Structure 1
Amino acid sequence: MKMASSRTPQRSVPASLALLLGLLSASLPVRSDEQVPLILWSSGGTSVPKQSPPTAGHIVEQQQLSSYLENALEAGPRNVVLFLQDKMSVEDFTMYGGAFGNKQDSVFPNLEGALTSSSSPLVLPAVSWPASNAVIGQLQDQLDTSPLYMDPETLSQLRLNASSPALLVFRLPYGIGSDLMSAKEILSGNDEVIGQVLSIMRTQSVPYTAIYTALRPSREVASLSLEAGLGGGRSLLQARGGYRERERERQRKEKEKEKASTYSPVEFKEGEKTCILMWAKGLSVSILRSGRWEDHDLTPSTFGEGVSPKIHGSSCDENRARLVLNYENVLGHRSFKLIFAMSQRFYKVSARRWFRMDAVELEYDGTKATFNGSRNIYAPHEYSYRCESVTSFRWPLLIPHSSKDPANQWRVSFEDFQIQGFSLRGAEFSYASDCAGFFSPGIWMGLLTSLLMVLVLTYGLHMIMQLRTMDRFDDPKGPAISVPQTE
C-alpha cells in the first residue's frame, strides 16, 4: 500500500519495513503511549486493491480500523494469520528495525521480506489500543468463524482450504528487563516465529492475509520525556498544561472502555420466561497434546457487543436446568459443546432448597468429558452462584468424573463466573452466593497473630505473679547476716 504524507513522496512498493516505519515515525506528532502500530499485508502473488493510509498524526479508532479490515478481506484472501503481540510501539521498529541506516542490525528480516514481496501492504502507525484489542472480534464477525489459537507446530499439522475462511491467531510475547537487549532478543524471536508461520503457509500454497499488531503500547513514558526535553521553561509550562488535558482524556477513554467491556450475560428463555443466566469475564479450555497444553479462549465467541452465542439444546424445568453453548473449530474439533448441568432439591437438614452444579461437560466429535462440580458449586435455589475463579486445576472446584474419563486430558477455567438456573425474576441475577469462605487468609493471619500475642502476654503475667520478695535484707551498716550451718 502507498505511504501518504504531506512531507514524504509516495512509493509504490516499500523497500523494507525499516524505511516505512522510519518515515512514519518522522511524521507522527502523536503520543506513542496511547497507540500501537498495525501492519497488514497479503501473500506474495495475491492482487489486492490498495488502501490509502490515514494522514500523518491521525489516530485510527475502532470504526475506521473495521473499515480497513473489511476492505482488505472483501477483495483479499480470507485465510487470516493474526500475529498478536503483548506490547508494541513504533519505537520498537525505529530502535531495532534499522530505520536509521543500520539495516544489518535489523531484528525483523522475515517481516521486512514479507512486506517487500507483498504487492499492497498497509502500515498504520497509530491505532488506539482499545481498537487493536477488538481486532479478533472484528475479524471473527467479518469472517464468520471462530479464532484458532495456534503455534507453528500445530499449524504444520493443519490443512487449510482457500475456499473456507480461517482465523489463525499466534500470540507473541514482549518484555523489557534491566537490560534493553532483552527486548531486542524477544522481538528477534518473534520475527523467527513469523518467518516459520509464513514458510508453512507457503508450503500449503494457500493465499492469506497477515496482520501484525499488539494489545498494548510498549513505550509508555517515551513521549513525556521527549516533550520535557524539547524546549525551555516556557514549553515546559505548556507541556504541564497539556498533560492535565491528556490525563483527563485518558480517564475519559478508560471509563468508555470499562463501559464497553461490560457485556450482557448469556440468557436462555423457555417461552417468554428467562430460566438460565450465565456470565463470566473469561471462559477458556485447554487440551493436553504431546506433553503440552494448548489453550483456546471462548470468551470472544460467547460475550460481547453483537455476539450471539448458539445455545440450542438447552433446557430447563422446576428441578433441572441445562445450558448448552455450541462452538465450532475449537482446538481442532469442528463441533464443540460446553454444557452446564444443574439441579435443585429440598434438604431436610437446612430446611430449604439448594441448587448445585452437577457437572460441566465438554462434547466434541462424539466424545464427552465430564467434570463433577456438585461437591463445591452450590447455592440456595433463590440465589445465584458466583466465584472469582472456577477451574479444574490449581485449587480445583471441578473434578474429572473418573480416572479414565477424557476430562483428565482437558482443563477448564472460568474467571469471575456467575450462573443461575432457578428462581429467576426477569433477565437479572438474584443475590449472589459467593464461593469465598468466611475465614480468608487475611483473617486467619490476624487470628493467629492475636493468639500468639495473647500467649506471650499470658506467659509474662504468669512470670510476674511468681516473683517473691526476701523476708530479710542485708544492712551494709550493721553486722552481716549470718546463716548458721548445721552438719
Structure 2
Amino acid sequence: MAEPRSSSRRMLMAFFAFFFAFFYTGSSTAQVPVVLWSSEGLPALAPPAAGHIVSTDQLTAYLTSAFGSGPRTVLLFLQDKLSKDDFTVFGGVFGNKQDSAFQNLEAALQSSSSSVTLPAFEWSGSSAIPALLQEELGVSPLLVDPDTLSHLSINSSASNLLLFNLPYCTSVHKSCKEVLHDNDEVIGKVLTIMKAKKIPYTAVYTGSQPSRVISETSMSNQPAGRSLLQAVVPDVKAPIMFNGTGGPCIMLWAQNLSISLSSTAAWIDLAAETPTMTGSMCNSTNSLLVLNYASGYVLSFNMIQRFYSVSARNWFTLESVQLQSNGVTASFSGRRAIYAPAEYSYHCQTVSSIGDALLVQNSTNVNASQWRLNFVDFQIQGFSLANGTNFSYASDCAGFFTAGIWMGLLTSLLMLLIFVYGLHMIMQLNTMDRFDDPKGPSISVPQSE
C-alpha cells in the first residue's frame, strides 16, 4: 500500500515544481509566492494566466470571500525570504521525496480539503501580507512558536492570527536546503498541534520579501552594437541612523543581525526587517540605540565615551547589547573587546556570542541563558559622525598579527636558527696541523713466544 501513496506524492511534487516553473516570467517586478490551505475548505480560484502577477486588490478580494463573516484562526508562516525558485531548486523535482525540503508542506497540501497556490504575488513591502490579514481578520498578529503554541489556549469562537517567523539562508553553519528543511519541520509541528487541539484553521505560507529578483533591462535604454562588459553595482541597503536633538548621532550597519533563542533553534535575521527606534537617545557621553522590530524582538546597543589619560584621547566602548523577547531580556557585554577612538567608527567582520566570542552573556535569567547573537559585517558609531551623515574612519577588530602571519614568522625563525646553527658548525671545522710521515720507520710490536 505504500507504493501508490509514494507515487501520488511524487506526482504532486512534480506538478508543484512544474507549476512554479511554468509561471516564472523573469519579470523585474518583485514578487513572492503565496500558498494557502485550510482544514475546512477554501473558495475555488481559477489558475492565473501564464505570467500574471496577482495584485494586492485581487488577493484582498479573494481573502474576503474565503474568510467570510465568521471567526477564523489563521496560521501565517512568514519566511524572511521566499521565491518560486526555492521550490524548484529544493523541492525534489525528480520525484525523490527524500530529497525534498518541503515534505510536510507537500503532505499538508495533499491532505487538506482545498488549497490555493499563487506563484507570483506583487510584493510591496515586508509587512504587506501581515497587514492585509490583520485588516481582514480585525485582530493583531500574535508571534508564537511551536513550543508556545502547545501551551496556548486558543478561542476558536473569535478570530486569531498566529504568526510564525521562519528564517532564510542567513546562517553560516547551514545550507539553504537545511534551513528550508528546518522551516518545513516547524510547519509540520504546528499542524500536528492544531490537529491535536481539534481547532479548524487556514494556513498561509509566504515570504517577507523575495529571495531572488531577476531584473530585465529594457533594450531601448541600451546602445546598439557591441559594448564592453560593465560592472553591475549591487544595491546596498542604507545604514540605520538615529537623529538626536542636534542631528544624526548614531549609525549602524550590518549584513546580518542574526539571533537565536536556543542552541538548537534556527537563526532569525533581523537585518531583513525595518525597525523603529523608539527609546533611543544620545549625548556627549552616552548613546543608546534601541531597535524595535514588528516581529516582537527588541535589540539595544549601549555605548559610552570616556577619556583615558594614558592615551590622552577619548575612546568609546560598546558596553552592552541587549535582546528582549516576550518580556525576557538577555544582556551581552562587549566592553573589553569592542572599542574604538571616539572620532572613529568600529567595524568587525563577525561579532558573535559563540565561538571566538566578542560578546559575553552576563544574564542571570535562566530562560535567556541559551540565547545567541551573530552579527556579520558589523559597523557602528555612536559619536562624532563624519559630516553628520557618514561613518568616520573605521577601527577594525582584526589585529595585524593574524594566526597565519604568526605561523609564517615562527616557521621562518625556525629555519633561520637551523641555518645559523649549520653555518656555526661549518665555521668550527679545523684542518690538522700535523700528519704522520709514511717514509719513517714502521712501528714494530715484539711478539712473545
Q: What is the TM-score of this pair, normalised by structure 2? A: 0.68
Whole-angstrom CA distance in 2 between matches of 1:381 and 1:187 = 42
**1:438 corresponding residue in structure 2:** 400
The Cα shift of 1:315 comes to 1.0
Q: Structure 1: which 5+ residue stretches go unaligned?
A: 1-14, 99-106, 174-182, 218-250, 302-306, 331-335
The counterpart of 1:299, out of the listed 265, 271, 293, is 271
**2:355 corresponding residue in structure 1:** 394
| Residues 399/457 of structure 1: CA separation in 2 closer, same or farther (3 Å cut) | same
The Cα shift of 1:369 comes to 3.2
Whole-angstrom CA distance in 2 between matches of 1:80 and 1:327 = 17
Instruction: Tell me if 1:44 matches 2:39.
Output: yes
| Residues 479/344 of structure 1: CA separation in 2 closer, same or farther (3 Å cut) | same
| Residues 94/74 of structure 1: CA separation in 2 closer, same or farther (3 Å cut) | same
| Residues 199/75 of structure 1: CA separation in 2 closer, same or farther (3 Å cut) | farther
Kept after mapping to 1: 8 A contact 2:167/2:183: no
Kept after mapping to 2: 8 A contact 1:108/1:191: yes
> Per-residue displacement from partner, 1:184-224 (whole Å, max 9, x unpaired)?
x999998776544323234352522333799889xxxxxxx
Letter in 1 for 2:374: S
Kept after mapping to 1: 8 A contact 2:241/2:248: yes
The Cα shift of 1:395 comes to 1.6
Instruction: Tell me if 1:79 matches 2:83.
Output: no
Whole-angstrom CA distance in 2 between matches of 1:403 and 1:280 = 28
Instruction: Tell me if 1:274 matches 2:270.
Output: no
Kept after mapping to 1: 8 A contact 2:10/2:95: no
The counterpart of 1:381, out of the listed 342, 354, 358, is 342
User: Identity rate of aligned residues, in percent?
Assistant: 37
| Residues 266/109 of structure 1: CA separation in 2 closer, same or farther (3 Å cut) | closer
The Cα shift of 1:67 comes to 7.6
**1:408 corresponding residue in structure 2:** 369
Instruction: Tell me if 1:199 matches 2:192.
Output: yes
**2:95 corresponding residue in structure 1:** 96
> Per-residue displacement from partner, 1:371-410 (whole Å, max 9, x unpaired)?
2221111111111111111122212222234667876343
Q: How does 1:467-482 map onto structure 2 within 5 Å?
A: 467-471=429-433, 479=439
> Per-residue displacement from partner, 1:282-310 (whole Å, max 9, x unpaired)?
1133334xx85564432222xxxxx3x22
The counterpart of 1:287, out of the listed 256, 261, 267, is 261
Q: What is the TM-score of this pair, normalised by structure 1? A: 0.63
**1:209 corresponding residue in structure 2:** 203
> Per-residue displacement from partner, 1:101-138 (whole Å, max 9, x unpaired)?
xxxxxx958725634634342263xx79xx99x99665
The Cα shift of 1:172 comes to 9.4
| Residues 211/451 of structure 1: CA separation in 2 closer, same or farther (3 Å cut) | same
**2:289 corresponding residue in structure 1:** 323
Whole-angstrom CA distance in 2 between matches of 1:186 and 1:277 = 31
Whole-angstrom CA distance in 1 between matches of 2:92 and 2:187 = 15
Instruction: Tell me if 1:359 matches 2:320.
Output: yes
Whole-angstrom CA distance in 2 between matches of 1:160 and 1:482 = 118
Deviates more, 1:113-122 or 1:77-86: 77-86
Q: Structure 2: which 5+ residue stretches go unaligned?
A: 1-7, 68-73, 135-139, 170-176, 213-228
Q: Any idea what SS the aligned residue of 1:89 has?
A: helix
> Per-residue displacement from partner, 1:156-193 (whole Å, max 9, x unpaired)?
334557634333245699xxxxxxxxx9x999998776
Whole-angstrom CA distance in 2 between matches of 1:212 and 1:358 = 38
Kept after mapping to 2: 8 A contact 1:143/1:166: no
Aligned residues: 390
Letter in 2 for 1:452: L
More helix by share: 1
Q: Any idea what SS the aligned residue of 1:443 has?
A: helix
Deviates more, 1:356-365 or 1:207-216: 207-216
Instruction: Tell me if 1:314 matches 2:280.
Output: yes
C-alpha RMSD of matched pairs (Å):
4.9
